Structure formats: C-alpha cells, structure tokens
Amino acid sequence: MNAPRALLVAAGRHGAYPTIGAALHDAPDGGVIRVAEGHYPETFELVDRWLTIRAEDGATVTLDGTGGDWPVVNVHGGSLVLQGVEVRGSVTAVQAFDAELTVERCTISAQRGAALSVRGCRRFAVSRCTVRDAAAGIVVENSSGTVEDTSITDVAGDGVVVGLGADPQIRNCTISGCGQRGMYIYQYARPVVEGCEILRTAGEGIAVAQHSRPLVRRTRVRDAQRVGILVGAGCGGSVQECQVDNTAPPGVEVTAGATTTVVEPVRPRAAGGDAGLGDLLADLDGMVGLAAVKAEVRALVDEIQVNEWRRKAGLPVGGVSHHLIFTGAPGTGKTTVARTYGKLLKALGVLARGQFHEVSRRDLVGQYIGHTAEKTSVVFEAARGGVLFIDEAYTLSRQAGSGGDFGQEAIDTLVKLMEDHRDEIAVIVAGYTAEMADFLAVNPGLASRFAKTIEFDSYTPTDLVRIIGGMVAEGEYLLDGAAHPVLLEHFGRICDDPAFGNARDARRLFEGVRKAQSQRLRALGRMPEVAELRRLTAEDVVAAAA
C-alpha cells in the first residue's frame, strides 16, 4: 500500500508550494500537507476533502485570518487533521460541520467569535491545544468526540459551550479567565466532564440548563463570581466528588425540579479551615496518575468508615493498623499522599490532629548508645495525633552501613512505640522498593506493624506533561501547543535514567523554562506586554531541557 502523498509548503523554497492554498489545490484525498516555519495570511474552505495539515517538526506556523469576516479553516464533510499550527481568526478560527475533525497541539484564537466550533460532527478530537483570546472558547453542538489536556483561557464569553444533544467527553482541561461561564451545558446535552479545573469566571463555573444530563466528576471549580455549579429545573445527570472553592454560595445549587444527583457534595472551604472528607478525596483524585495508589487509599478510607458505622451499630470491630509502607522511586508523590492520608484520618475521627511530621535517619539516630532511643521517643511523641513520615527508612537498617547498630536501636524503639500507641498515630515508612524489603527484615516484629504496602509507580511522560501543565496554570502562564511534543520527547528520553526524579525533574524543568522565558523577554529591550509575560514557548522548553 502506498504512503499518503506529502506536499511541502515553504514560501521562497524551490520545489515547495508557496502557500497552503496552493498545496490544497493539488492535494489528493488522504494527502499530508507539511508546512514550514512562517506566517501564512490565508483562509480556506474544505468541502468533502480528506486531508492532514501539519507543521514541520519544531516549526512555528501561524495561519492568520484576522481581518476577514469568515472562518480561517472551514470544514464541511470529509475529514481534517490539523497538527501543531497556530490559527488566528476574526470571527471563528476553526469551524467544522458534518465532518471528522482532529486538532492536536494547536493554538487557536478568535477576536469576535468562537475559537473552535464543532457542529453536527460524527467524530472529533481536540487534544493538547491552547484556546485563548476569543469571544467564546470551544462550542460543541450535536456532536460526539473528545476534548482533553487542553487549556481555554482569557475568553470574553463562555469557555466551553455544549448543546443540542452533544455528548462529548471533556477530560483534564483547564478553563480560566472567562467573562461569562466557564462551561455552559444546554438543550439535552449529555457531556462527561472529568478531571477538569475551572477558575476565575465572571458567571457560574458550570451552568446546566434545558433538560441536559451531564456527568461532572472529580472537577474543581474555584474563584467564580457566581455559583460554582448551577443545575436548572428539568435537568438530570450527576455531580460526583467535585471540589468547589471561593464561589458564591451555595457552591453547588440544584434548582427545584432537577433530578441531578450530587455524590459527596463538597462545600466551599472556609479560609484557613480544615478540609472535609470530600475535599480531601477530591484533592487525592486530582493528583496526576497514581491510579493504583488512589484505589488503595480509598479502600483504607472505606474500611475505616464501615468500621465506624459498625461500632455505632453495636457490632464488633477488629483492630486496624494505620501504619503504612510506601515504596517507589523519588518524586512519585509519596510525601504528598502521606500528608493527605493524615488529613483523611483526622476527618474520619481516627487521629486527633492529623498533622504531618517528616523525619529522616539523622532525626532518629544518636551518636552513642542510649541516645538514639531518647531521640526516637521525642520525635514519636511530637508526631502523636498525626502522621510520622520516615523517608528513606531503609537507611536505619544494619544493611545501610555506617552507624548500623544505632539505626537498629531506632527501629527497635519504633516497633515498641508503634504497638503501644497504635490508635494515636500513623507511621509511614518510605523508600526504594528493594531497599525497603531489606529494612523490614531487620526486626521480626517490624513488618507485622504495618497494615499495607503501597507501591508508587513512576510517572509516564504523559503524566509528567500534565504535571507541568498544572504548574503552568498555577503560575498563570500559557504554554504554546507546540511545546507539548517537545516535553513528551524530553521526558520520554530521560524517564528510564536511574537518576530520574519524576515530578522533581518536572519541577526543575518548569523552573528552567521560566528562566529561559525571562532571558528571552529581557533581550527584547522593552517592557513586555501581559500576553508576552504569560507565554511560554517551545523554544523556552528546548532551552531548559538542554
């Protein structure tokens, strides 16, 4: 079978097409149009065509239709794949009707209309895109498809509109800085909204109207000027394990006449107040990756909750140890999960304070015989009522080498204290998987003190890109769509290195990207505009990765 015909667009390059329009004229169905670096002031309409338009690797390609009163890319029927391109429009940037549309790693903006409009499409997919500076963000009507890992920001109207029976899946997206609602779901729409973050909206975070039945799950809404999630009369669906912070009361409002179910409703947190069980579980679920870890922690929470119900019913309850072993490579979220676990135990009434006390070998081991038992007891007493987290616990064992006997004294002291105060503290020991097995072998009673071992897998490159995305959103930056494949390639290259630090390396890379941006902006010789201060480019990522 012959490969699809590829046509190159590169203005001024001999043997290449000077414009995208010229290449479209000659491209056969199934053809691939590769576009070299450059600014292309073009618009085009595709009717029943089957094509791919793709920026060359590493190229910044801008398709600019500003100044016109029609869409920059208008697709009727057929199929279009658009990859790695920035599209700027006046009315609408990308519009598709009754077509198959795939948009990947693109940056899309529109001055007076929707950045991306999908109507009557049997299948569409939007992934790893940036939608910004538009009158409306993404509009989906009477269509099925997916929107994932996409940022929608600085929109004058609604961030995402889903209507007319559309049933897309919207996952792991960030919607921020909307002049109206973050998400508007209307007229019999049935979207699945999962793992998204919606913040800083002038209207509701999510508004549901006109007999729509969405499933909104594990989504965070915060800093909305109006209600966080508003469900109108006649609507259904469910809102599950969502977190709503700093919005107009009541946070989640289900109007009379609606049949929407709210599972574990999360009330806004008072400033400086403790989080409730639903808040904490939402925080846990909001962590990137770690599916098996989340399931294990939830199983522990379920067991504790059921035991409490049995106790209140006068039924016998077996003894439950809250001590845990966390194994895995550095930077996989062990410390963060341990903090959340302590707060969960407090919310469940198991621990008095739920505070987090992290120590290492030097905090437990003394310099002479008898000193270690004293130091360990003092540390243990300070942690009572909360979590005592011992990182790299295997360094306490004799096998660790220097000072092994004093380390053994710390272990022996811990074993006795853990048993004597089993209901007053949760001890979590953490470290590399193989080394932790050696650690548990040094005292016959040590392993039996722990309820469970939870293994933390290393993050995938996709997980690490999502972690970077969270840092970008938290810092109110905007990451160009072209940077995503650069990040994926970088993490794919280094994640098998024995010294790879997982999320720690992601944090270091993000700081490097910020530094590269600072150097780039300082070289401008003028004060940057707000948009320039927020923008992080693929070149910034390349510089940081180098």
| Higher pLDDT, residue 292 or 443 | 292
Nearest Cα residue to 35 out of 90, 84, 73, 101: 84
| 3-state DSSP percent of the chain in helix, strand and coil, to 5 | 30, 30, 40
pLDDT tier at 414, thresholds 50, 70, 90? confident
Omega within 30 of 0 (cis) for the link into 268: no
Rg (CA), the chain: 27
Query: What is the CATH architecture of 461-545?
Result: Orthogonal Bundle (1.10)
Query: Average pLDDT of 77-103?
Result: 93
- Residue 148 DSSP SS3: strand
Query: What is the CATH architecture of 290-456?
Result: 3-Layer(aba) Sandwich (3.40)
The pLDDT of residue 329 is 85
What is the spatial distance between Cα 176 and Cα 158, in angstroms, rounded to a whole number?
10
pLDDT tier at 115, thresholds 50, 70, 90? very high
**What percentage of residues in the chain have a pLDDT greater than 70?**
95
pLDDT tier at 315, thresholds 50, 70, 90? confident
Mean pLDDT for the chain? 86
Tokens of residue 355, six digits: 């505070």
pLDDT above 50 for 258: yes
The pLDDT of residue 275 is 60
Tokens of residue 354, six digits: 């739920």
Q: What is the pLDDT of residues 465-506, one digit of tens each?
A: 888 888 888 888 888 888 888 898 888 888 877 778 888 888
Q: How many residues can be counted in the chain?
A: 546
In this structure, are residues 7 and 26 in contact, taking their beta carbons and an 8 Å threshold? yes
- Distance separating the N- and C-terminal Cα atoms of the chain: 40
The CATH 1.10.8.60 domain(s) of the chain lie at 461-545
pLDDT above 90 for 146: yes
Pick the CATH number of 1-148 from 2.40.50.100, 3.40.50.150, 2.160.20.10, 3.30.1280.10: 2.160.20.10
Tokens of residue 282, six digits: 């939402």
Tokens of residue 175, six digits: 């919607």
Question: SS3 string of 200-254?
Answer: EECCCCEEECCCCCCEEECCEEEEECCEEEEECCCCCCEEECCEEECCEEEEEEE
Q: Element (H or E) spanning 492, and its range?
A: helix 483-494
What is the spatial distance between Cα 106 and Cα 152, in angstroms, rounded to a whole number?
12
The CATH 3.40.50.300 domain(s) of the chain lie at 290-456
Q: What is the pLDDT of residues 357-383, one digit of tens each?
A: 888 888 888 776 667 888 888 888 888
The pLDDT of residue 41 is 94
pLDDT tier at 3, thresholds 50, 70, 90? low
- Of 134-148, 178-192, 333-347, least confident by mean pLDDT is 333-347
What is the spatial distance between Cα 491 and Cα 509, in angstroms, rounded to a whole number?
10
What is the spatial distance between Cα 147 and Cα 96, in angstroms, rounded to a whole number?
15
